[in-house]
Amino acid sequence: MFCRLMKKQITFITEQKQAFLHLLKWLLLILPVSLLTGSLVALFLWSLDLSTQFRQRHEYLLWLLPVAGIVIHAMYRLWGRESEKGNNLVIEEIHQPAAGIPPVMAPLVMLSTVITHLFGGSAGREGTAVQVGGSVAAWAGRYLRLSPAELRILLMTGVAAGFGAVFGTPIAGAIFALEVLAIGRIRYEALLPCLAAAIAADIITRCWGIHHTTYTIRYHEFPAVPGKWFPFNMLLLLEAGLAGILFGWTSRMFVAVSHAIKKQAGLRIKTIWLIPVAGGILIIAMTWLAGTTDYLGLGVHSDHKGGASITAAFGDGHIDPWCWLWKILFTAITLGTGFKGGEVTPLFFIGATLGHSLAFYMGLPADLFAGLGFIAVFAGAANTPLACTLMGAELFGSEHLLYYAVACFLAYYCSGHSGIYSAQRVEIAKHSGFTVVPDRPSDDGA
């Protein structure tokens, strides 16, 4: 018996030694990826801020958006190769490493996204950061001659680093990289490498002097009363659940409109370079129709008092109750016609302003429901409920974590099996009414 006990102890020590060496190996591998990704994200955010401020001071630049579309198209035709697939190429390479991610993807997407924002396109920044991280990781993987299995993990750390650095949410960045690949399945083999990469990249970005926008939820519940059945506001939880369903339907609407515009643009406009020209003209016309520039760019801040923006949604003032719908159209046209950027920050705008409007008309805490919409619409569109719940805790604090989870989980459940990333696979259905086909892309779902 003593011999068996000693054998078990020796086996345990050997396992711990192997685990330590494995973790040390990945820490050494991700360090250069995180350092370079965090630095490039810092450069990108700084450039994006400058371009946004310049465009807001010179509104005439919007008239040059069709020309900017031609420039972006030409850049990708000359140097882009497979880079035009964007985030989907990164996800495809993680699923099955093939031709690889070209090193030119990082500078190309950074420059094209800045151009998009400089001339008034409605886009985000997450897509750019993820592509930067994926490109850096792919370059490092080729240089180190990693095996396909190791390269998959390194690519996932690049995604985590880019996402965590661009929003200042390393925990959400790590879980996003594990969760976004397939609906219903998380890749736990990359858990610690992704977390380490996201933390390191976030630190590097902050060391460059980059400051992220602060969002505050001022609503506080009364302390739970001992002996009560529910240590929370049951009515408010039900209202958060109802809002979560609406957020999920909104996610589905965004995805459907985005896919439809991209498909119809390709079918109806045979000359490819005219597609971004048409998109730019539409954005100009819609800006005139809406009578405001609030739906251009990121939408984090408005350039005039009383305008619609993400930060305004967390305030007590009244904003246009239909601004979330305007943002869906502006962003779907921008990205669907070939301009570059991400979908996530516009989804934050859509969710936060919709949540604010729901709260305004239902007599609910506007800042809380703006926060719920902020994360839940993204959760439904990207099919990443866990990452978005944790993002809520990182951005807004953990006091309302239960409400975050209810809103994000229901938005995920009600958004269908489509998503903003067409390379995302459906591995486990959200409900029994959907038949899972192996390797089925999410945009083929119901």
Instruction: Specify the pTM.
Output: 0.93
SS3 for 417? Answer: coil
Averaged pLDDT for residues 204-213: 95
What DSSP string describes 220-278? -PPPPPTT-S-SS-HHHHHHHHHHHHHHHHHHHHHHHHHHHHHHHHHHH--STTHHHHH
Q: How far apart are CA 328 and CA 130, in angstroms?
A: 22
Give the residues across from 441 on adjacent strands.
425
Which fold does the domain 234-415 belong to in CATH? Clc chloride channel (1.10.3080)
Is the pLDDT at 291 greater than 60, yes or no? yes
Confidence grade of residue 84 (pLDDT, cut at 50, 70, 90): confident
Weakest-pLDDT range from 224-233, 249-258, 283-292:
224-233
Distances (CA, A) of 376 to 28, 37, 203, 413: 35, 27, 26, 11
Examine the pLDDT at 43 and tell me if it is beyond 50.
Answer: yes
> pLDDT digit string (tens) for 71-83?
999 999 998 777 8
pLDDT for 446 beyond 50 = no
φ/ψ of 206, rounded to 5, equals -65, -35
DSSP codes joined into one string, 181-233? TEETB--GGGHHHHHHHHHHHHHHHHHTT--PPP------PPPPPTT-S-SS-
Q: Quick one: which H or E segment has residue 426? A: strand 425-426
Whether 21-207 and 234-415 share one fold: the answer is: yes
Buried b (16+ CB within 10 A) or exposed e, 148-169: eeebbbbbbbbbbbbbbbbbbb
| Degrees, nearest 5: CA angle 46-52-55 | 140
What confidence score (pLDDT) does residue 444 get? 45
Locate the domains of the chain by residue range.
21-207, 234-415
CA angle, 260 as apex, 255 and 261 as ends, to 5°? 105
* For residue 68, pLDDT beyond 80: yes
CATH 3.50.50.60, domain 21-207, yes or no:
no
The Cα–Cα gap between 425 and 149 comes to: 18
Assess whether pLDDT exceeds 60 at residue 356.
Answer: yes
What does the pLDDT average to over 172-185?
Answer: 94
Mean pLDDT, the chain, rounded, equals: 90
Contact indicator for 399, 360 with CB cutoff of 8 Å: no
289 CB neighbour count, 10 Å cutoff: 9
Give me the phi and psi of 351, to 5 degrees please: -70, -45
Q: What is the phi-psi region of residue 184: left when phi exceeds 0, alpha when psi lies from -120 to 50, beta otherwise?
A: left
- pLDDT tens, 361-411? 888 999 999 999 999 999 999 999 999 999 999 999 999 999 999 999 999
pLDDT above 60: residue 303: yes
Instruction: Reply yes or no on whether the pLDDT at 329 is more than 80.
Output: yes
